[in-house]
Structure 1
Amino acid sequence: MQKYVIVDYQDFTPMTEAFQRLGYRVFHAAAELDDRELVDCELALFCMFKSIKQPLHSWGLTRRLNRAGVPVITWNRDGPSHKGDKAWRLWALRHFRYFNIYATHTLQDAQGFARQIVYLPNAAWDTEYHLGDATLETLRDPSRYRFDVSFYGRISAARYPEMRKRQLFFEQLAPRLEAMGIVYSFRDGSPSCAEQRALIQASRINLNYHAGCDDKYHGGNEIGREKSWGLPERCFGVPACGGFLLSDVRKHAAESFIPGVEWADFLDLDDCVAKIRYYLANFNASRAIAEAAYSRVVREHFYVNRARTLVEAARVWRDERHVMR
């Protein structure tokens, strides 16, 4: 008999696809299943920030699912800023335990949301982020690259206030690269996945710097607070396309990659410039890291791997409560 999962999580296609690949039938709302059908439901994945907007409904839904032996999971990919959500909502999420399992991309500020905590980083959506027509061998050809350094994503602080730190960084980096004759592309906005893949594969170095979850604390963007330890999606998507990633320091990077072998990072603007110069002068070294990172992502860091982790966490929850399936 086919098993079910409920994925009511920000219309996030990668996780729906991931569970389908594991053989599950995916429902997007608990209301689609009656109590008899819930017997065959493995887990329910919800967005905590959506759930707390209807606190009484969400509380009752968790009780209903638990009675049927279904663990309720949330996955926070926005810690420790928690989307800058209202303080009372975060207090309620911690004190009323809407979730049985709290999955999070960073272990900062993770206590209180659920008894069971699971470290669950972002991943690469391999439906869209892949080698395409390129190969690791063709990416070893230095002549194929149009840019020395690139970045795409939200940059404008006028449109995205939480990106003020990122905007300042690229405003300071650009003239330093120009002075050295380094060709760069810093693109503000959200290009299509195909456009992202093309830019990644046309750039010797793909940068990662800052993320909305780093500084968007309740009360506004506060530069100087400790940034997230978690890895943004591009830290997996770039290597999935065969690109070389140079990232700002992320504490959880060592959980997913071997530093210096599968991962390269920088401390600040000066170190970023120094690392750019180094890897442009040592192209083979950058490609060795890129290929090692690609292999690691393909083995361990697709969303189907994250879905398996959640299925296992749900099994542990049921075993502790002697729930038979």
Structure 2
Amino acid sequence: MDRELLIGIDLGGTNCRLALVDGRGEIGEGSRLSSREFVDAEDLVERLALECRALMEHARRQGGRVRAVGAGVPGLVDGTGTVLTAPNLGILDGLPLGAALEKRLGLPVAVLNDANAIAWGEKIWGAAIDLDSFLALTLGTGVGGGLILGGRLWVGADGCAGEVGHLNVEAHGRICGCGSRGCLEQYSSASGILRSVRDALAQGRDSTLSQINDQDLSAAAVGAAARGGDALALEVLREAGRRLGQVLAGVANLLNLDGAVICGGVASSLDLFLPALNQELFARAFDRPARRMRIFAGALGDRAGILGAAHFACHPQAAWSARSES
């Protein structure tokens, strides 16, 4: 590894991963925590600081030095590194995470939305290197969005841009953790897909998925069942794709982007729901922006968040907001 290193943190609604990252985008020593085990905000900060110190010490023993820390979190983050709200990890609400970690570590700490971190990772080292403008959609516990415009991360006036997971796709639909109803993530996230499956099974629908213990049911299992010809699994994935296409049609008309990068666990089933997504996209968007928008899977897998957060930590100028330009 290079002598100067970074620490990338990928804090999700289910798991939290930390790792050393070098200047070439290579991931080194790392650790993993369960986000569900954090007792409260103070416990979260202390445990993250403890893991960071261990990585800093590891780097020192290897002749390296950690330069900065970048953390991607599942919520809205303002320009000071404070988490405004995190629907899928409520203990982060109002937490000045950047300042809290800087105080404990004595290092610069950059905090950004987890989907923004993934988008930046795919832009710097992944599938979107050659794209000038694109939307990264993260389909995991929720649906996150990271928006790259003109080669820079667009975060908006308050750092809250890109939240496509909370665009409405069903006016009187499922209640969302954000307080609204019918949000995209209630249908196209891994959690939303599983809810659709459970609802259908509860209604007596026939499916091989009924043979799987509820605790073992996953989006990956739904994808595998669909590939095996399970009609319900394929129907649920197509519905998730249709909802995504509904949102991406609006995005295409509004921003005329080069593409959309599908990331997260559900991305492995992209080929199964892409036809339904494209059908909806072309039915709703103007032809020219619809044809411009290429839909493809991310290249970095679960490394994208760590890599993007780490790189962003030493390149905060990569973020572009309305306020910073005024």
TM-score over 0.5 (shorter chain):
no
User: TM-score, with normalisation over the residues of structure 2?
Assistant: 0.38
Of Structure 1 and Structure 2, the greater strand share is in 2
User: TM-score, with normalisation over the residues of structure 1?
Assistant: 0.38
| Structure index of larger Rg | 1
